[in-house]
Amino acid sequence: MDAEKKKELDNALTKTTHLEPTDKDKNKSDKDTKEAPKNEPEVKEKLKQSPKKSKAETLTLDEKIVSIQYLLKVPKDRDNDYGGFKYRTAEDIESQLKVFEKDLRVMVRMENEEPICVGKFNYIKSNWIIKDLVSGEVKRFSAVAREDDTRKGMDAPQLSGSSSSYARKRALDGFFMLDNRQDDPDSNESYKKSRSVKQNSQNAQYSNYKNKLQQAKNWSTTYKGKKTTVGVMATYLSNKNGPHYQDAKAWANSLDDKSAKVLNYLLKNMK
């Protein structure tokens, strides 16, 4: 083979090796490229079908209890006028717990109550449970309260009911760490504070009462051309067998409305 023919053959082989792709080949190549990640939709679908776990499913029962202890707030909005302090009831606490029971999937319930006799004293023990509705784990807690022997205006069932209510409240207070020393009627400081406020109030009332009483005694009137005070005439009126009783009675009948009111106030409050 001469050199010229050899050159033509080499050129022909070169053109065959570098053939441009046809439209059919291009379409086929594009299709292969698009269908390459066949498993991508399957991965996305699996991700959709496996949702994230909720807080209630990831926390242990101890962690849920700590969350409740940290977040639960039950203010003492009720007033005890006799003791002079504010307080909360077991029902107030139970009402606020309902939100946590739903969100954390726990159940807080009183299991039972049992009477306990220690010497001559009777107690009510209130037993409670908190159950994790996800894991089934249960924890128990309780508190006791002593029954009063007697209390004015209350019969035996009411005494037991009062102890029961207090035991329930103490159990919830203690387990969920709700007691506040500033407002707690069981604390010495609160007791001293309430007693001090009550004593100051009584002192102010008595002082006001004494001032009014003195003003009533010094109230000046005129009878038969002579000046006298309500205090003096009230003293005469208080002694029906005294020599001045009839004059004092006639004086009282002659009083104007305002002076008559002062006299009646003084007579009611004189010792």
Same domain membership, residue 86 and residue 157? yes
Q: Do residues 64 and 104 lie in contact, with contact meaning Cβ atoms separated by under 8 Å? A: yes
Helix residue ranges per DSSP H, 50-181: 55-58, 61-71, 90-104, 156-175
User: What pLDDT, on the 0 to 100 scale, is given for residue 263?
Assistant: 78
Does the pLDDT value for residue 188 go beyond 60?
Answer: no
Q: What is the number of structural domains in the chain? A: 2
Among 98-102, 109-113, 210-214, the minimum mean pLDDT is found in 210-214
Same domain membership, residue 172 and residue 247? no
- Using alpha carbons, select from 257, 258, 237, 261 the residue that is nearest to residue 247: 237
- When pLDDT is cut at 50, 70 and 90, the band that residue 110 belongs to is very high
User: What pLDDT, on the 0 to 100 scale, is given for residue 244?
Assistant: 81
Range of the domain at 132: 62-185
Same domain membership, residue 223 and residue 145? no
Same domain membership, residue 175 and residue 217? no
- When pLDDT is cut at 50, 70 and 90, the band that residue 86 belongs to is confident
Same domain membership, residue 106 and residue 180? yes
Q: Can you give the pTM of this predicted structure?
A: 0.49
Flag whether 205 is in a domain: no
Flag whether 131 is in a domain: yes
Percent of the chain with pLDDT over 70: 66
Flag whether 17 is in a domain: no
Read off the pLDDT of each residue in 240-247 and give the average, rounded to a whole number: 82
**185, 201, 224 - which closes a domain:** 185
Same domain membership, residue 256 and residue 173? no
- Using alpha carbons, select from 194, 202, 193 the residue that is nearest to residue 84: 194
Flag whether 48 is in a domain: no
Please give the residue that has the higher pLDDT: either 250 or 28. 250
- When pLDDT is cut at 50, 70 and 90, the band that residue 56 belongs to is confident
List CB contacts of 256: < 8 A, sequence separation 6 or more. Answer: none
State the CB neighbour count (10 A cutoff) for residue 74: 18
Flag whether 114 is in a domain: yes
Does the pLDDT value for residue 144 go beyond 50?
Answer: yes
Flag whether 9 is in a domain: no
**Kind of pairing, strands 121-132 and 106-118?**
antiparallel
Q: Do residues 114 and 139 lie in contact, with contact meaning Cβ atoms separated by under 8 Å? A: no
- When pLDDT is cut at 50, 70 and 90, the band that residue 134 belongs to is very high
